[in-house]
Amino acid sequence: MSPLERAVNRVAGGALLAEQAYEELKGSILANRLRPGDALSVPELARQMGISRSPVREAVQRLIHDGLATHVVHRGAEVSTVDVEDIRQLYTVREVMEGLAARLATERLDATRIGELRALLAEHERVLAADDSEQAHVEMDMAYHRLIREVAGNPHLTAALDTIQGKAHLALHALWRSPEAPRLALEEHRRIFAAMTSGDPEAADRAAREHIARLRVRLSQTVASGPDPSGPGAGVRPVG
């Protein structure tokens, strides 16, 4: 069975087929069903999704623009593979931007949003206690940061961070296989929440930046030794 057979679902008919195809492919990449290095054959994807090639071709081009796919000469498009230096650079930028998002969100926080953030933390704690799959941890992490950006209310910041986080998450599946990583991430998310609910934008900025900096260190340590392609660092190339 090809990677596409296990990764891609049919999409509904109607308008905005390119958008539907894009969301399906992006979701499959972020869920690690389509993995770094997997080929993105437009004819095969179109067959799997039950639509024509044109919207699929447009969707793949958007993935390339977002950094989630790469065009390789003589091979065509494939899911991007990142290396340790890519990770360091991505997370250096993300550190600053997530700090800004937390700062802005603190200034706009209200009781409703506090309840939503608290509920996400409680759900992540349940996922951790249940020892759920790495995908569940990835989804909880993304949801938490996505909600902070939403509260921050700056669409330009959100768009930039969505692109950065999308490519960064190509490597995060390697990180979540470490038994300590989900627990550490949850603890750091709680620190961000405490700083935000204290009404201190600077503390929230600092807590968010520290979280991303620690993620960068942990992820670099996980993959720098060049693990087996089927193991924890699959899809991430060591430098050198």
pLDDT tens for the chain, residues 1 to 240: 455 555 777 776 666 889 999 989 988 887 778 888 899 999 999 999 999 999 999 999 999 988 889 999 888 999 988 777 877 888 899 999 999 999 999 999 999 999 999 999 999 999 888 876 667 877 888 899 999 999 999 999 999 998 887 777 776 666 656 668 788 999 999 999 999 999 999 999 999 999 999 988 887 776 655 544 334 344 444 433
The residue type found at 37 is G
* CA–CA dist 152, 148 (Å, integer): 6
Instruction: Find tokens 């996980």 and name the residue.
Output: 222
* Per-residue pLDDT reduced to its tens digit, 45-57: 999 999 999 999 9
**Domains with residue ranges and CATH for the chain:** 3-79 (1.10.10.10), 82-226 (1.20.120.530)
Alpha helices in 31-83 (DSSP H): 42-49, 53-66
pTM, whole model, 2 decimals? 0.75
* Per-residue pLDDT reduced to its tens digit, 155-205: 999 999 988 877 777 766 666 566 687 889 999 999 999 999 999 999 999
Alpha helices in 153-197 (DSSP H): 155-176, 181-197
**DSSP 8-state secondary structure symbol assigned to residue 133:** -
Q: Counting Cβ atoms within 10 Å, is residue 58 exposed (0-12), middle (13-18) or buried (19+)?
A: middle
